[in-house]
Structure 1
Amino acid sequence: MKSLLHPGRVVSLVFLFAILCGTALLSLPAAQAQGESAPWITAFFTAVSAVSVTGLVVVDTGTYWSTFGQVVIMLLFQLGGFGMMTLATLLGLLVNRSFHLRTKLIAQAESHVLGLGDITSVAKLVLVVTLVMELAVMLLLTLRLHLTYGLAWGDAAWSGLFHAVSAFNNAGFSIHGDGLVRYATDALVLTPVMSAIVIGGIGFPVLYDLRSKWTDPRHWSLHTKLTLSGTAVLLGGGFLAVLLFEWSNPGTLGPMAWADKMLSAAFVSVSARTAGFNAIDIGALTHESWALHYFLMFIGGGSAGTAGGVKVGTVAILALMVIAEIRGRPDVEVFGRRVGSSAQRQAITVLVLGSALVVLGTLVILRDTDFPTDEVIFEVISAFGTVGLSTGITADLPETSQLMLTLLMYVGRVGTITLAASLALGEHRMPYRYPEEHPIVG
C-alpha cells in the first residue's frame, strides 16, 4: 500500500485520470461543431495534448470543436499547467522529508532552497501568479482585438481568454487555424503572449525566490541562478540564430520590415522552447532553423513550471560537468557553490532517458510512415518536449504513429517530473562501498 502512494505514481495517475475524463467529454456530440461524436482517436489525442500542455492537434481547434469543446480543451490545459506546477513544486519540496532535520537545515543554509515551511506560500504564489497573469494578458488581448481588429466584445474576450490561458500554461493551443501568424507584426499581441510564456515556463521555485529575495541576488538559490542564466542564453542565442537563418527566407522573415523581423524572431525563440505558438509558417523554415528547434524544444524551460523538455537546469548542470572535466577540476562549481553529485547523476539520467525516448519515437514513426526523417524528428521532439509546434504532418500520420505521439506527450510532461522526484525520494546511502576502478572512456 505504501508503494501505491508514492508521489510519482500519484502524479501519473491523476494526469491519466484527467486525460480519460477529457476524452469522454470531447467524445460527446456537444463538443463537436457539427453535433456529431468525434472519433475516439481525435478526442483522445486532443485530450492528451491539452492535459500535457503540448498543443499538437489532428484537427483545427477553432472550427472542428464547438464552444463547449473549446472550453473543455481550455480547462484541460489549465488543469495540466496549474496542476503540474503545483504538484511538481510541492514534490520538489517534499524531497526534503527524506532527510534528517540536521541535514535539512544544513542543505537549506548552504543552497538557500525552499524549506518545508514554504509549501503553503508556494501554493498561494502559484494561484496568485496564474490568475494575475492570465487576467492581465486576457485584458490586453481583448482590448487589442476589439479596438484594432474589430472583433465584437464577446469574441474578443473569448479569444483573449483562450490565448492568455494557453500562453501562460505554455499549451500552444489556438482557436485560429493559422495560430498567431495573423499577428506576426503586432507587438501589442505578441509581447503579452511572450511575457506569459516566459513567466509561466520559468518555474515557480524561481519566482518564489525572486519574490522573497528580489533585492539581494547574491542569496538566490543556485537553481534560480542556473535557470535565469540558462534561460537568458537560450533566448538570446535563439533570437540571433533565427535572424541569421531566416533573414532572407521568402517564406518567413524575408518580406518583413526590419522591426517586424526582430519581433518575429524574438517570438520564435520564446515559443520554440515549450509554448508551441507559431507566428510564422513552421513548415517554411530553413533546415537550419529546424535543427535549432530540435535543440530548443528538447531543452524546454524551467523546472516546476508549465514548460516541458529536459529542463534548463538539467542542461546547465551537464554543461558545467563538461567544463569541470575539461579544466581538470574534481568538483563541479558555479556561482561560489558546488553542485552535488546526486544532482549530476539525476541530470545525466534525465538526459539519457529523454534522448532514448526521442530515438524510440522516431524509429517507430519512420517505420510506420514515408515522411522525411527531419519532419518526423521535429514532431517527435515537439511531442516529448510538450511544445506543440508542427511541420504539418501530425494530422496525416496513421493512428499508430499518433498514439506514439500521445505516449511521448504524456511521458514528456509527467515522466521527467516523476523521474526526478523518484530519484531524489528514493535516494539512500548503502552501508558499504565497492573498490573503485576507472574504465577507459573515449
Structure 2
Amino acid sequence: MNVISHPSRTVALGFMLAIFAGTLLLMLPWARPAGQDTPLIVAFFTAVSAVCVTGLVVVDTGTYWSSFGQWTIMGLFQLGGFGMMTAATLLGLMVNRSPRLRTRLITQAETRSLGLGDVTSVAKLVFVVTVFCQLLIATFLALRLRFGYDLGWYEAGWSGLFHAISAFNNAGFSIHADGLMRYATDALILLPIMVAIVIGGIGFPVLHDLRHRYKDPRHWSLHTKLTLTGTLVLLVAGFLAVLLFEWDNVKTLAPFDMADKLLNALFISVSARTAGFNAVDISVLTRETWALHYFLMFVGGGSAGTAGGVKVGTVAVLVLLVIAEIRGHNDTEAFGRRVGSSAQRQAITVLTLGSILIVLGTLVLLRVSHFPTDQVIFEVISAFGTVGLSTGITADLPVSGQLVLALLMFFGRVGTITLAASLVLGERRMPYRFPEEHPIVG
C-alpha cells in the first residue's frame, strides 16, 4: 500500500482538497456583499477553520460574508464534521450495497469503526443521526426565535439552521458578532444547542454501540463505557469549577440570578470541550477559568465524532494506566476488561505529540506576536483542540501567527485521525525481541 493510497493519508488529502475548494469559493465575488474582494489569508483561514470545525475567525461571519459566503461556510463545516470518506461511502452505498475493501478501510480510518463489518452500519448511522438531530434542533431554535424574539420566518429559520448545524458539528461558528451572548438567559436556546454539541461530539462508534445494545449496558464496549464515564466526569467537574471561579465575577456570572448562573456554568463546561460557542465574554473570564479551559479544550470529546482534542478515550486510558502503576498491577483494567498494551502505547503517542504541537505553536506565536503568554496558550490550545473559543486576539495576530493557528487546526482535526489510524493499520509483529532492561524513571 503506497503513501497516497494509505487510508489515513487519503483522509488527510480529502480535508486538504476541501480546504482548497473552500478557499476558492470564499474568494469569489459573490462571497462578499457588493462583490468586494476577499484577501487570500482571510478566505484560507476561514476555510481551514470551517473544514476543521473549529470556529476561530478573523472577520465577523454575519457581516463580512454574504448569504453565499455564509452558506459556503456552513457547507464546509458540515462536510468537515460529517467526514470526507463517510460521505463517499454513503454515495457508494447508493450505487453498490457492498463497498470495496479499500473504501471500507479508509472509512474505518476516519470513523474509527471497531471493525470492518461496522463500517456500513456506522456510516448509515452517521447520516441518520446527523440529519435527524440537526433538523430537530434547527426547527426548535427557529420556532423559539420566531415567537420569542419576533424574528421573520426567513431570519429565524436561517439562524436556527446555521446554529443547529454549527452546534452538532462542534464548529462554533455564529452569525452574531457577540456569539450567543444575547441568549445568555434563554434556556430554550442554550439547552438545545448543548444537546446538539454533546450528541455530535460523543462519537459515532458510541452512538452505534448504544443503538444496538441500549437495553443492556453490561455489554457495551469498553470504549463506550470509558467515553460516557469520562464525558460525564468532565462535564460535571467543569460545571462545578466554573461556578466556583466565576460566581462573584461581575463581568460574567455575578449579575445573573441563580438559575441563569447554573445555565451559563453548564454551557461553558459543555462548550469549552470542543464546541467553541460563548454566551459570556471569554476575554473577561478569571485566569482560573482560562486554565480550566486549557485542560478541557485539550481533552476534547469522543473519538470519531465532530469533536476535537486528544479525545476522552485517550485520557481515560492514560488515567487507568497511572492507576494500575500506582497500585502495582501488571494489567490496566476497567469495567471487568483489560486494556490492550497497543491501546496504551497509542494513547501515550497521541498525548505526547499533541503536547509537542501545543508547545511549538505557543513558542512560535510568542515570537511573532506581542500578546501575553496566557492568551497565546489559550489560542493555541483552542486551535489544536478545534474548539474555536478566543480571548479576542485571533484577528490581531500577524499573518504568520494566523498561519500557525491554521496549521494547528488542521493537525488537530486531521492529524489525530491520521495518526491513530496509522498506528492501528501500521501495527505489525516483529520476528524477534531485544533483551529487556529497565532504565531509571523519575
Global fold match (TM > 0.5) = yes
Query: CA 1:87 to 1:332, structure 2 compared with 1: closer, same or farther past 3 Å?
Result: farther
Residue 130 of structure 1 aligns to which amino acid in structure 2? T
User: Which residue number corresponds to residue 129 of structure 2?
Assistant: 129
* Structure 1, unpaired ranges of 5+: 99-112
Alignment partners' CA distance in 2, 1:314 and 1:285? 28
Deviation at 1:94, TM superposition (A): 3.9
Deviation at 1:210, TM superposition (A): 0.3
Alignment partners' CA distance in 1, 2:258 and 2:88? 41
Cα pair 2:11 2:85 within 8 Å, conserved = no
Report SS of the residue matched to 1:5: coil
User: Which residue number corresponds to residue 430 of structure 1?
Assistant: 430
Alpha-carbon displacement from aligned partner over 1:393-430 (angstroms, at most 9, x marks no partner):
00000000000000000000000011000001000000
Cα pair 2:14 2:84 within 8 Å, conserved = no
Alpha-carbon displacement from aligned partner over 1:183-223 (angstroms, at most 9, x marks no partner):
01101000110000000000000000000000100000000
Cα pair 1:27 1:43 within 8 Å, conserved = yes
User: Which residue number corresponds to residue 219 of structure 1?
Assistant: 219
User: Which residue number corresponds to residue 94 of structure 2?
Assistant: none
The 5 Å alignment of 1:217-366 reads 217-366=217-366
User: Which residue number corresponds to residue 180 of structure 1?
Assistant: 180
The 5 Å alignment of 1:196-207 reads 196-207=196-207
Query: CA 1:262 to 1:200, structure 2 compared with 1: closer, same or farther past 3 Å?
Result: same
Deviation at 1:85, TM superposition (A): 8.4
Worse overlay, 154-163 or 33-42: 33-42
Residue 79 of structure 2 aligns to which amino acid in structure 1? L
The 5 Å alignment of 1:4-19 reads 4-19=4-19
User: Which residue number corresponds to residue 101 of structure 1?
Assistant: none
Deviation at 1:96, TM superposition (A): 12
Alpha-carbon displacement from aligned partner over 1:223-262 (angstroms, at most 9, x marks no partner):
0000000000000000000000000101100100000000
Relative to the length of structure 1, the TM-score reads 0.94
Query: CA 1:156 to 1:95, structure 2 compared with 1: closer, same or farther past 3 Å?
Result: closer
Alignment partners' CA distance in 1, 2:103 and 2:176? 37
Aligned length: 428
User: Which residue number corresponds to residue 144 of structure 2?
Assistant: 144
User: Which residue number corresponds to residue 107 of structure 1?
Assistant: none
Report SS of the residue matched to 1:432: coil
Alignment partners' CA distance in 2, 1:94 and 1:221? 21
The 5 Å alignment of 1:35-114 reads 35-83=35-83, 86=86, 94=105, 114=114
Alpha-carbon displacement from aligned partner over 1:315-353 (angstroms, at most 9, x marks no partner):
000000000000000010010000000000000000000
Cα pair 2:122 2:208 within 8 Å, conserved = yes
Residue 267 of structure 1 aligns to which amino acid in structure 2? F
Alignment partners' CA distance in 2, 1:289 and 1:116? 42
Query: CA 1:234 to 1:242, structure 2 compared with 1: closer, same or farther past 3 Å?
Result: same
Deviation at 1:37, TM superposition (A): 1.4
Alignment partners' CA distance in 2, 1:141 and 1:85? 30
Cα pair 1:31 1:67 within 8 Å, conserved = yes
Cα pair 1:95 1:425 within 8 Å, conserved = no
Residue 141 of structure 1 aligns to which amino acid in structure 2? L
Are 2:392 and 1:392 aligned? yes
Cα pair 1:52 1:410 within 8 Å, conserved = yes
Cα pair 1:84 1:305 within 8 Å, conserved = no
Relative to the length of structure 2, the TM-score reads 0.94
Alpha-carbon displacement from aligned partner over 1:347-384 (angstroms, at most 9, x marks no partner):
00000000000000000000011100000000000000
User: Which residue number corresponds to residue 120 of structure 1?
Assistant: 120
User: Which residue number corresponds to residue 369 of structure 1?
Assistant: 369
Deviation at 1:121, TM superposition (A): 1.1
The 5 Å alignment of 1:416-427 reads 416-427=416-427
> Equivalent pairs: percent with the same residue?
73
Cα pair 2:85 2:107 within 8 Å, conserved = no
Worse overlay, 79-88 or 335-344: 79-88
User: Which residue number corresponds to residue 31 of structure 1?
Assistant: 31
* Structure 2, unpaired ranges of 5+: 90-100
Deviation at 1:87, TM superposition (A): 7.9
Alignment partners' CA distance in 2, 1:87 and 1:373? 40
Alpha-carbon displacement from aligned partner over 1:288-341 (angstroms, at most 9, x marks no partner):
000000000000000000000000000000000000000000010010000000
Alignment partners' CA distance in 1, 2:307 and 2:85? 9
Report SS of the residue matched to 1:3: coil
Alignment partners' CA distance in 1, 2:385 and 2:19? 18
Report SS of the residue matched to 1:331: coil
Alpha-carbon displacement from aligned partner over 1:68-107 (angstroms, at most 9, x marks no partner):
0000000000000001683899999849999xxxxxxxxx
Deviation at 1:28, TM superposition (A): 1.0
User: Which residue number corresponds to residue 406 of structure 1?
Assistant: 406
Cα pair 2:52 2:80 within 8 Å, conserved = yes
